[in-house]
Amino acid sequence: MIAGVRALESTIHPTAVVHATAQLHPTVEVGPYAVIGADVTIGPRTRIGPHVVVEGPTNIGADNRFFPGAAIGIEPQDLKYQGAASRLCIGDGNQFREYVTVHRATEADEETRIGNHNLLMAYSHVAHNCVLADNIVIANGVALAGHVHIESRVVIGGVLGIHQFVHVGQMAMLGGMSRIDRDVPPYMLVEGNPGRVRALNLIGLKRAGFDAEDLKLLKKAFRLLYRSDHTFTQGVEQLAHWSEHPRLGDLYRFLNTSLADQHRRGPIPGAK
């Protein structure tokens, strides 16, 4: 069953099916009825739970855990897909809960990429060509459409949809059951259908170690962008004067790129 696979026989359940070209570190555990396909590489101490399916080309790092029923590296739900050997790359220390689905990219030279220490809760979906950074929490039933980019330390509430090509900035929080159809700026709390910027994600920022001066400046930036008489574009232009500050610089660069890049969907509006 496992001829050619670099793994200890005692770590692979006898009912699991592992392709001969798969490369498993000796410390990998594979549970009952799991299926590991061709061109899959799995790093140290990763645990593959019962009934998990991993297809390739997929590269998985160390210390990941896949709970029962997860489907990883499946070909994309994209009508443009023509069988290309696109990739999925997963970093270290991630958790993929029950029935999470993560798809490979569409074209041969493209990849879906997930970073490190992310938690994807049950039934969440990551579509083709998505890029997730690090320390992200995605709650149950969230659906990410194709080409979505999520920066680090974002928290996404349950039963929420994110439109294709949307970018979500670092340390933002997205409220459950929202519709996210435009870019979410860093540090903001977004909620609603359609989603709107409601406030700064103050609790998340404090937990991340932002000091009083950081929070004071971000509150000024929030008022400038969403509570002043300026248009939003004028507010972003004014924000450029504070861009040397690391936190405000990140916010300014995100918003300026979102407004200027024709391939982006533009920033999500503030609540009226």
- pLDDT tens for each residue of 241-265: 999 999 999 999 999 999 999 989 9
Give the pLDDT of residue 62: 98
Give the residue-averaged pLDDT of 40-44.
97
> Residue 10 pLDDT more than 70?
no
Q: Give pairs for 146-154: CB < 8 Å, separation 24+.
A: 146/76, 146/78, 146/106, 151/186, 152/115, 153/204, 153/208
Model confidence at 272, pLDDT cuts 50, 70, 90, reads confident
Model confidence at 3, pLDDT cuts 50, 70, 90, reads very low
Whether 49 maps to a domain, the answer reads: yes
Question: How far from 221 is each of 157, 166, 177, 183, 239, CA to CA, in Å?
Answer: 25, 22, 27, 17, 7
Task: State whether residue 85 is helix, strand or coil.
Answer: coil
Whether 94 maps to a domain, the answer reads: yes
Peptide bond into 68 cis (omega under 30): no
Q: Can you give the CATH number for the domain in which 102 is found?
A: 2.160.10.10
Whether 259 maps to a domain, the answer reads: no
Whether 235 maps to a domain, the answer reads: no
pTM metric for this prediction: 0.95
Task: State whether residue 142 is helix, strand or coil.
Answer: coil
> Residue 15 pLDDT more than 90?
yes
Whether 59 maps to a domain, the answer reads: yes
* DSSP percent split of the chain into helix, strand, coil, nearest 5: 20, 30, 55
> Residue 160 pLDDT more than 60?
yes
10: left (phi over 0), alpha (psi -120 to 50) or beta: alpha
Whether 96 maps to a domain, the answer reads: yes
Model confidence at 105, pLDDT cuts 50, 70, 90, reads very high
Give the residue-averaged pLDDT of 30-46.
97
Domain count of the chain?
1
- The fraction of the chain above a pLDDT of 90, given in percent, is 95
Whether 75 maps to a domain, the answer reads: yes
Q: 137: domain range?
A: 9-147
- pLDDT tens for each residue of 175-220: 999 999 999 999 999 999 999 999 999 999 999 999 999 999 999 9
Whether 52 maps to a domain, the answer reads: yes
Give the pLDDT of residue 168: 98
Give the pLDDT of residue 2: 42
Which class for 266: exposed (0-12), middle (13-18), buried (19 or more C-beta within 10 A)? middle
